[in-house]
């Protein structure tokens, strides 16, 4: 036998043994890694009956929403009620091949890997919608590490075997965070546009579909130019996927979108009552249940009664405060720069309180727009009781700057922010000068004074607010209205301003006894044989003291005693 052939055979035997050993080691290592990754993974079957955290909503007796308690604002939406253009927008933006893959899209992963290598950082994940649902609902860790990504892929593959595509997509659209305090498209439609999902336009849907990856960075309120660029990307993808025509996409992109700032309904509709309801629910059911189970709470409070009660209390407190007299101007401004800055501050303050809708224009990206345009058109309508560039309304109270006082006409010109106003004498005659009603406005105000005014009327044609001098009250008050037939609370006002003080004077304040002692006194009288028709002599009573009184009457021994009459009841 040729010795070279034997050596070659021995070499190949050794090499084959090494390759086989290496294969076994790699296989065992792979199985070990797979076991490590899959061990402890939650069962995907739990998603069949997954319960999202829903907001608990509070309603008045007419069905108007007056409160809401939640950590994650989310509203359920039936999948069949979601328009196709909304679904197409999200699929084009996040997972165009959703209905074709089995939970993992290898092409997307390859593109993501290449993108990350080129950029030299982790910038793109390549996750499918199924993987995003697995990460959001089944995995505790959200860190961008390879083990989490592998666990996510295993769960996604299992989900595709357990759940239908519709079920997975429904979970995704209900759970995804879209910024602006909104979890899921139901909350996003309400928060951003004050609409239901079924009413979303293509422009609105494409704007929302661009948010899931970076909801804070692409939030249209904070970065309108970036939000518009992202919307452009979504529309291009919709065109590529044959969901839109090119010209249609251009028209949609140019369409201005009205956006609404967040409003905390708990602080605006019936704040003291809603806070009482919250405390009651927390005590009875616990915070976990109240904040996540989506209760519908129907109360006895009547919304119209509530608003009437608030107006009545404010009016009454201000009337009481005025009886204490005029306390003078709040401050005086001398320089023109001070006056201009003060007017700008008042303008911003009034707009912040109104919280008007904003407009995202079609050219926001081109203009590099950083701040949304404010939509004041609702306040300029003929039917509106607002007037001016700083919208002020009839019955509203505002700080005002005196521009000048006309002693001949007995009128004063003022500015409420950027809105012109005029003060006349008659509605300001609650101010007393040496016990007599005010006769001349220049006796109490002058140019440069900062005062509080109430808007009595508005002149739409001239854009002027007709006002009366007022003042911020130093007293407060409370009101509780209930139906004596059944005890139903119809209105509750615990103070003048819930944002300034959450102390509920209607329930928490301690009051003087007043006439509440009368039932006890009359009950004792009935017990002694008196009746409602009994006559009682109200002449002074004198107790004869014979030094044998067992009860201390604070009388001097040997002297008669009579009670001191403090007042009639």
Q: Token pair of 110, please?
A: 């390859």
Rounded Cα–Cα distance for residues 171 and 164 (Å):
11
Burial class of residue 349 (count of CB atoms within 10 Å of its CB; 0-12, 13-18, 19+):
middle
Q: What's the CA gap between 430 and 471, in Å, rounded?
A: 11
Q: Which residues pair with 56 in a beta bridge?
A: 69
- CA atoms within 13 Å, Cβ hemisphere of 521: 6
Beta-carbon count within 10 A of 22 CB: 10
- The whole-angstrom separation of Cα 127 and Cα 134 is 10
Per-position DSSP letters for 155-181, written without gaps between them: HHHHHHHHS-HHHHHHHHHHH-B-STT
| Inter-residue contact 331 to 450 (CB < 8 Å) | yes
Reported as type and span, the H/E element at residue 437 is strand 436-437
Burial of 85-100, coded b for 16+ CB within 10 Å and e otherwise, reads bbbbbbbbbbbbebee
User: Residue 452: beta bridge partners?
Assistant: 399, 470
Do the bridges between strand 56-59 and strand 296-298 make them parallel or antiparallel, or are there none, so unpaired? Answer: parallel
Which residues are registered as beta bridge partners of 466? 422, 457
Residue 290 · residue 56 · CB < 8 Å = yes
Tell me phi and psi for residue 305, to 5 degrees: -60, -45
Q: Alpha carbon of 75 to those of 162, 173, 180, 197, 203: distances in Å?
A: 25, 11, 14, 10, 21
Rounded distance between C-alpha atoms, residue 316 and residue 325, angstroms: 15
Cα torsion angle, 211, 212, 216, 221, sign: positive
Going by C-beta distance under 8 Å and a sequence separation of 6 or more, which residues neighbour residue 288? none
Enzyme catalytic residues: 94, 515
Number of residues that make up the chain:
569
526 half-sphere exposure, CB direction, 13 A CA radius = 7
């Amino acid at each position: 036998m040729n010795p070279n052939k034997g050596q070659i055979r021995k070499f190949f035997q050794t090499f084959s043994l090494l390759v086989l050993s290496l294969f076994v080691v790699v296989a065992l290592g792979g199985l070990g890694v797979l076991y490590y990754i899959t061990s402890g993974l939650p069962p995907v079957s739990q998603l069949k009956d997954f319960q999202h955290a829903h907001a608990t909503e509070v309603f008045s007796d007419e069905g108007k929403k007056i409160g809401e308690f939640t950590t994650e604002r989310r509203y359920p939406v039936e999948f069949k009620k979601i328009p196709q253009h909304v679904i197409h927008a999200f699929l084009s933006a996040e997972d165009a091949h959703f209905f074709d893959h089995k939970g993992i899209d290898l092409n997307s992963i390859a593109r993501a890997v290449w993108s990350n290598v080129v950029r030299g950082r982790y910038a793109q994940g390549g996750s499918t919608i199924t993987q995003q649902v697995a990460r959001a609902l089944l995995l505790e860790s959200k860190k961008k590490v390879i083990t989490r990504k592998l666990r996510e892929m295993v769960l996604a593959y299992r989900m595709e075997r357990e759940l239908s595509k519709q079920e997975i997509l429904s979970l995704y659209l209900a759970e995804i965070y879209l910024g602006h305090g909104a979890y899921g498209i139901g909350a996003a439609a309400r928060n951003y546009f004050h609409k239901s999902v079924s009413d979303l336009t293509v422009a609105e849907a494409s704007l929302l579909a661009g948010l899931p990856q970076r909801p804070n960075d692409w939030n249209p309120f904070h970065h309108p130019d970036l939000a518009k660029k992202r919307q452009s990307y979504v529309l291009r993808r919709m065109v590529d996927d044959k969901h839109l025509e090119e010209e249609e996409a251009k028209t949609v992109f140019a369409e201005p979108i009205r956006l609404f700032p967040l409003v905390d309904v708990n602080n605006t509709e019936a704040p003291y009552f809603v806070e009482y309801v919250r405390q009651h629910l927390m005590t009875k059911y616990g915070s976990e249940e109240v904040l996540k189970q989506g209760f519908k709470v129907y109360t006895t409070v009547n919304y119209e009664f509530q608003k009437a009660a608030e107006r009545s209390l404010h009016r009454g407190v201000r009337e009481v405060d005025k009886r204490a007299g005029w306390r003078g101007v709040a401050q005086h401004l001398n320089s023109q720069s001070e006056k201009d800055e003060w007017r700008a501050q008042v303008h911003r303050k009034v707009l912040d309180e109104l919280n008007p809708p904003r407009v995202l224009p079609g050219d926001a990206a081109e203009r590099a727009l950083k701040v949304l345009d404010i939509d004041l058109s609702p306040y300029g309508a003929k039917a509106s009781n607002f007037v001016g560039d700083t919208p002020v309304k009839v019955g509203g109270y505002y700080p005002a700057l005196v521009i000048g006082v006309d002693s001949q006409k007995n009128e004063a010109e003022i500015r409420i922010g950027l809105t012109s106003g005029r003060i006349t004498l008659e509605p300001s005659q609650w101010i007393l000068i040496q016990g007599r009603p005010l006769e001349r406005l220049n006796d109490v105000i002058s140019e440069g004074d900062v005062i509080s005014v109430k808007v009595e009327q508005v002149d739409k044609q001239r854009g002027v607010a007709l006002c009366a001098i007022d003042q911020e009250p130093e007293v407060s008050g409370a009101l509780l209205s209930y139906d004596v037939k059944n005890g139903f609370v119809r209105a509750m006002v615990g103070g003048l301003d819930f944002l300034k003080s959450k102390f509920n004077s209607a329930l928490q304040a301690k009051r003087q006894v007043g006439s509440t002692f009368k039932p006890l006194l009359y009950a004792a009288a009935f017990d002694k044989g008196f009746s409602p028709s009994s006559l009682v002599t109200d002449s002074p009573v004198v107790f004869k003291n014979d030094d044998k009184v067992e009860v201390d009457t604070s009388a001097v021994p040997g002297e008669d005693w009579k009670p001191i009459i403090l007042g009639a009841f």
